[in-house]
């Protein structure tokens, strides 16, 4: 088990990368299970990646589940918090705004290739004052090239801004097996069904059913990461059977639930 981080060491590490003038800076931090990183923002873009463990990242724009085979691109200035599922070995890259003008403008879950994962490992050994024409400088330029090739993955759950839609979403996050229909919610909130449909479409880009399915699937990733049995996950999420859950999971992620965390 790695040493438990302290506020002092975390602040020192963060100050080091924030103050670096290098195009790309690196930071390695190990967090114990259940650790929560409080809301904060960076002056630089950040690629959040974990060699081990699962991270759940929250911001006003929504929340993302980030397993080890994925990373999260966090644009500079966006306030976010992180919850660790299991022991998390986080390896983050911090990129100057001017060094990546054509990279993602929004927060995105991205695929981490085997090459990029090894480049990140190697970059953790590079100090903040590397010379641009040195071996370390070339390594960091290759890292930037690889960042431009990252595929975006569907692990985002957008949150609506309307208070009525937020009430629905909070309930589904707290109780993912809730089977209430649009008509049930319309009666409860005393609004028209079409109003709910319009709110979800305009503020999340999803239908009500698509949003609920996405919420369930992302919750499934959290439970899979903790070692829960697939049958228990299926029932907890409101599926009629493990087979029905596995079919929906495979349709969405292209893999069976039992294979997801082995695809590294």
Q: Higher-confidence residue: 119 or 254?
A: 119
Measured CA distances, 145 to 72, 102, 142, 159 (Å) = 17, 11, 5, 31
Q: What is the pLDDT of residues 25-48, one digit of tens each?
A: 989 999 999 999 999 999 999 999
In the three-class reduction of DSSP (H, G, I as helix; E, B as strand; rest coil), residue 131 is classed as coil
Which residues, including other chains, have CB under 8 Å from residue 96's CB and lie 6 or more apart? 21, 22, 23, 24, 44, 45
**Residue ranges per domain, the chain?**
7-153, 159-262
Is-contact 196 165, C-beta < 8 A?
yes
CATH class of the domain comprising 7-153: mainly beta
Q: What is the dihedral of CA 39, 64, 160, 189, to 10 degrees?
A: -100
- Tell how strand 36-40 and strand 62-66 pair up: unpaired
Which residues, including other chains, have CB under 8 Å from residue 145's CB and lie 6 or more apart? none
How many angstroms separate the CA atoms of 253 and 198, rounded?
27
**Band of residue 2 on the pLDDT scale cut at 50, 70, 90:** very low
Assigned CATH topology for domain 159-262: Arc Repressor Mutant, subunit A (1.10.10)
Residue 238 has a CB neighbour count (10 Å cut-off) of 16
pTM of the model: 0.77
> Does the structure show a pLDDT above 50 at 179?
yes
Rg (CA), the chain: 20
Q: What is the pLDDT of residues 121-154, one digit of tens each?
A: 999 998 878 888 899 999 999 999 998 888 888 7
The predicted pLDDT at position 3 comes to: 58
Q: What's the sign of the alpha-carbon dihedral 19, 33, 260, 241?
A: negative
How many angstroms separate the CA atoms of 71 and 206, rounded?
23
The predicted pLDDT at position 105 comes to: 80
Mean pLDDT of 70-92: 92
> Does the structure show a pLDDT above 70 at 262?
no
């Amino acid at each position: 088990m790695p040493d438990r981080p302290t506020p002092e060491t975390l602040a020192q590490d963060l100050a080091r990368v924030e103050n670096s003038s290098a195009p790309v800076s690196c930071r390695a931090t190990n967090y114990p299970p259940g650790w929560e990183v409080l809301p904060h923002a960076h002056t630089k873009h950040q690629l959040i990646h974990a060699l081990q463990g699962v991270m759940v990242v929250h911001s006003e724009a929504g929340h993302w589940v980030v397993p080890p085979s994925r990373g999260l691109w966090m644009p500079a200035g966006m306030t976010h918090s992180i919850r660790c599922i299991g022991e998390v070995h986080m390896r983050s890259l911090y990129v100057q705004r001017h060094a990546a003008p054509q990279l993602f403008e929004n927060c995105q879950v991205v695929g981490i290739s085997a090459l990029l994962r090894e480049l990140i490992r190697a970059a953790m050994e590079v100090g903040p004052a590397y010379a641009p024409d040195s071996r370390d400088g070339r390594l960091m330029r290759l890292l930037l090239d690889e960042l431009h090739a990252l595929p975006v993955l569907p692990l985002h759950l957008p949150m609506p801004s309307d208070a009525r839609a937020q009430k629905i979403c909070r309930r589904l996050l707290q109780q993912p097996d809730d089977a209430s229909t649009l008509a049930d919610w319309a009666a409860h909130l005393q609004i028209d069904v079409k109003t709910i449909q319009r709110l979800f479409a305009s503020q999340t880009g999803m239908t009500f059913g698509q949003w609920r399915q996405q919420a369930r699937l992302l919750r499934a990733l959290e439970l899979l990461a903790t070692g829960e049995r697939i049958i228990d996950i299926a029932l907890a999420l409101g599926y009629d059977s493990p087979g029905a859950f596995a079919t929906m999971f495979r349709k969405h992620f292209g893999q069976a639930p039992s294979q997801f965390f082995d695809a590294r």
